[in-house]
Structure 1
């Protein structure tokens, strides 16, 4: 599967995280490092060591986000997709026991976003077994999902998209 796909909302969230790290968080930590360094002996200065470690992590995440944002492909929902499950769809499903789930099929970058963005519990990756089983299906279709406990049958109740 392609791991470079992202929804417009996910792309905006990555840009917000990058902006937050660069414009707000990094300057705050840099200021703390400068203050701790001004206290003298850095070899036994826990504030200095901890904030330098934090600054390295921030810089690493900034580098990652800058590179990642350049390689992502934003997938806009298309009205021609209506009625079938594709990337970016909100899907309501139900199994034979009556258990219901609702989620949006997104790229891996949207599942594990960090920083100012909280992890979404109602998102699943396009690479997940559930998403792969649902792709191209329609309402009332059944999808067989391979789980650690064996095959599970899910029925599609609704499919929606966030059309812009």
Structure 2
């Protein structure tokens, strides 16, 4: 049996203005604060002598590699992202950046925000535009019943509301 796996599909290159600001802030923090701090600690650990058995040195090298990897990712990602900061012309349809309130089959309502892959935050209800649920809702109107195909099976949802900007009920 082979270990080969097909490459994951590339995530969409969309981001909200807030998401872009968070990514830039993370980059600045890593570059201006975290990386210099780790480099100083690495230099201090290297000055202690034998590096082959120096746990602090080994740990700091690994930490520096992880920071550099994340910086490289953020540099590339920020260059390729398209910021979506305007509402669409039809405010009753579901598009990127929308807050969508749906009624579940059991009668409960849930609200999700469709965001870019770099902004996912499940506790806040932010789901990726590439997720099966989001793909099923895209382009649909308020009042429509939508059958979304999820990994756990199909589900029928009724779109109750679509808002752009922060809904008042979510603070």
Q: TM-score, normalised by structure 1?
A: 0.88
CA distance in 1, matches of 2:152, 2:80: 36
CA contact (8 A) 1:77 1:162 kept: no
The answer to whether the Cα contact below 8 Å between 1:94 and 1:157 also exists between their aligned partners in 2 is yes
Q: Offset at 1:15?
A: 0.4
Pick from 93, 96, 101: which aligns with 1:84?
93
Q: Show the counterpart of 1:44.
A: 53
Question: Does 18-27 or 1-10 show the bigger shift?
Answer: 1-10
> Relative contact order (alpha carbons < 8 A, sep ≥ 6): 1 or 2 greater?
1
Q: Distance in 2 between matches of 1:149 and 1:33?
A: 47
Give the counterpart of 1:148 among 146, 151, 168: 151
Give, in whole Å, the separation in 2 of the partners of 1:142 and 1:82: 18
The alignment partner of 1:80 has SS state of coil
How much does 1:82 deviate? 1.1
1:121-145 Cα shifts (integer Å, max 9, x gaps):
3111111111111111121111111
Q: Aligned partners of 1:149, 1:99: CA distance in 2, in Å?
A: 18
Root-mean-square deviation over aligned CA pairs: 1.7
TM-score w.r.t. the length of structure 2 is 0.85
Unmatched 5+ stretches in structure 2: 1-9, 167-171
The 1:52/1:23 distance shift into structure 2, 3 A limit, reads same
Task: Identify unmatched segments of 5+ residues in structure 1.
Answer: 112-118
In 2: Cα distance, 1:145 partner to 1:79 partner = 23
Where does structure 1 differ by over 4 angstroms across 4 or more consecutive aligned residues? none
Contact 1:77–1:88 under 8 Å retained in 2: no
Report SS of the residue matched to 1:12.
helix
Q: What is the aligned residue count?
A: 156
- Please state if 1:66 is matched with 2:75: yes
- Over 3 Å counting, the alpha-carbon distance change for 1:67 and 1:49 in structure 2 is same
- Give the drift of 1:2: 6.4
- Partners of 1:94 and 1:155 within 8 A in 2: yes
Secondary structure at the aligned position of 2:89 is classed as helix
